[in-house]
Structure 1
């Protein structure tokens, strides 16, 4: 079977993507070492953990060294925070950019030979914040706008690869619950996209026949589930 590497796979959307791709792919489950990551790997046949700290570039380079070919790379790992421009120090911009952009760019660079080997597919889990910036989201939105630009440049540079940016609205995850709490709201997950819904869109893009290039997918919640 083809092989897919998914970052941020231990829970939430990453775990949903892993479960959706498991029937058709051997999986490398990326994430910090954790019991959740180990449990998921035991549940999904053909899966193994890839416990790498993405901001440690030397560790990442060592982990990538054994990957000779790769069919799918899903960049799902990310961080976020909410604060006004006035309240956001430079270190917070650096922290978010390091995970949401720089680690993504470096992992992509390291894996390009393996992806080129099989004409692979790279999926970037972006955000609605990668298309529209709202008050309080300057650092996160800046990282996602930058991720969008990176994906567009990569697509133009690598015609032998497929590059898809996915822009989901808010997703019903633990991270979303934390965000709503920071906003001072009451959490109602039914208002948001189900992780399985977004995972299905990712799987659909990957399964698109080779004569088509799914470049962008935009998903918005309907609050009808």
Structure 2
């Protein structure tokens, strides 16, 4: 059975993606060591955990040493930004968001390229509507997602033996979304956002696209929203 590594898999969209791929792949559940990650592994029939802090590059390098072949790598891990203006955003916030959302994804990709090349693998980047359009207050987050799109585009051209897909979902009903809406000061209506299972289904569809096609970009928006 092919193998898929999903980062940020302990909850939310990452857990939904792992669940969507578990029937067709041996899944490696990436995330910080936690009871949530262990529970998900058990619920998926004893899936393997890839428990590492992605910005601890020495730990990530050690964790990837044993992965000699990899069919699918899904970059889902990420953090939101503080939703402040450029004028009010300190350098530490830029560094934090870019480190997690972009630099860590680039480094994990680099470390796993030999394994992906060996299997003619597929790299999926969970991007965002913010990777297509930047809005006021979202500069660090949007910059990280625009950068993630550039990483995917460059990788696609540099590695013709791989498939590379960017997924651009609109807002998703997750814990992260609850935090964002709370910062914005609005009431939370989960029904106004995408279901994580819907986005996970789009990821699975891209992964299962027959080999004669290359799913380059997938854009999803909540129904009724532009």
> TM-score higher than 0.5 here?
yes
Q: For the residues of structure 2 that align with 1:169 and 1:214, how far apart are their CA atoms?
A: 18
Residue 6 of structure 1: aligned partner: 6
Residue 197 of structure 2: aligned partner: 196
Uncovered stretches (5+) of structure 1, i.e. residues with no partner: none
- TM-score, normalised to structure 1, is 0.98
Q: CA deviation at 1:223?
A: 5.5
Q: For the residues of structure 2 that align with 1:150 and 1:50, how far apart are their CA atoms?
A: 23
Q: For the residues of structure 1 that align with 2:48 and 2:113, how far apart are their CA atoms?
A: 21
Q: For the residues of structure 2 that align with 1:83 and 1:195, how far apart are their CA atoms?
A: 26
Residue 96 of structure 2: aligned partner: 95
Task: Tell me if the contact between 1:12 and 1:195 (Cα under 8 Å) persists in the aligned partners.
Answer: yes
How many residues align? The count is 224
3-state secondary structure, aligned to 1:150: helix
Range 160-169 or range 39-48, more displaced? 39-48
Uncovered stretches (5+) of structure 2, i.e. residues with no partner: none
Q: For the residues of structure 1 that align with 2:180 and 2:100, how far apart are their CA atoms?
A: 18
Residue 67 of structure 1: aligned partner: 67
Q: Detail structure 1 runs of 4+ shifted over 2 Å in the superposition.
A: none
Q: For the residues of structure 2 that align with 1:4 and 1:148, how far apart are their CA atoms?
A: 21
Residue 144 of structure 1: aligned partner: 145
3-state secondary structure, aligned to 1:136: coil
Q: For the residues of structure 2 that align with 1:123 and 1:219, how far apart are their CA atoms?
A: 15
Q: CA RMSD in A?
A: 0.9
Q: Deviations over 1:148-173 (max 9, x none)?
A: 00100000000000000000000000
